[in-house]
Amino acid sequence: MESIGRGPDARSTDIVSGGGTPRWLASMLRHCSKCGAEIRLTALPEENRERLACTACGHVTYVNPRLVVTTLPVDADGSLVLIRRGIEPGYGSWAQPGGFLEVDETVGEAAVRETLEETGLLVRPGELVGLYSRLEAAVVTLVFEAEVVGGDVRTSSETLEVRSFRPAEIPWEGIAFTTSYWGIRDWVERRHPEIEVPQALDGRERF
């Protein structure tokens, strides 16, 4: 496993693999969803890591990452549509539209729904640009390239501004998240290899 490495989806994370449930997440999980008693990290005979097990009924609360579905909407003249975020995290910075996958929809449906909610644009999801692990946030971010097929640009309560950028004019220093940077960078490198993109961003904290 070590010779294979962490894989390209780990580029957006600094956290070492195998560190268990992030503390901030474990601190939000205190009670058994079955019986309401306290749950604690416990070594279980059949498991290779400690699990959050109920002290009363033994029910195990499994903690897995959530999936964030995002799109890179490309309009008719080949520009990339980005949003300036109106909520934290990343308030005031640029990102691609997206959000958490709901339990009753497909990833394609989530991509269409989130993009419509945040930009007013109807998109048709196309190729997968990438999947990016964020161990810090316990999420995996999926990035679709998407074709704008309808709708009208509008902002929402979560969006300050919706703007399209020529691929050579991406506002790299104003990008909100590490995963946004990697997704947009991978898209530019795939579709416009002639464009030079920054190989790293500055050291400020990202999500």
User: Where do contacts with Zn ion occur on this chain (CB under 5 A)?
Assistant: 32, 34-35, 37, 54, 56-57, 59
Rounded least distance, CB 25 to Zn ion, Å: 19
Rounded least distance, CB 62 to Zn ion, Å: 14
Pairing of strands 139-151, 66-74: parallel
Rounded least distance, CB 21 to Zn ion, Å: 18
Nearer to Zn ion, 35 or 41 (CB): 35
CA-to-CA distance for 97 and 89, rounded, in angstroms?
Answer: 14
CA-to-CA distance for 205 and 62, rounded, in angstroms?
Answer: 29
Catalytic residue check, 38:
no
Nearer to Zn ion, 59 or 192 (CB): 59
Nearer to Zn ion, 36 or 78 (CB): 36
> Closest by alpha carbon to 159, among 80, 69, 85, 71?
85
Nearer to Zn ion, 11 or 59 (CB): 59
Rounded least distance, CB 49 to Zn ion, Å: 20
Nearer to Zn ion, 31 or 66 (CB): 31
> Closest by alpha carbon to 75, among 163, 181, 143, 158?
163
Residue with tokens 């074709």: 147
> Closest by alpha carbon to 194, among 166, 163, 172, 164?
166
Residue with tokens 């390239």: 145
Residue from 47, 50, 158, 161 carrying the catalytic annotation: 161
CA-to-CA distance for 95 and 184, rounded, in angstroms?
Answer: 9
Rounded least distance, CB 60 to Zn ion, Å: 9
Residue with tokens 């009363």: 56
> Closest by alpha carbon to 54, among 87, 30, 83, 27?
30
CA-to-CA distance for 113 and 120, rounded, in angstroms?
Answer: 10
Write out the catalytic residue numbers. 161
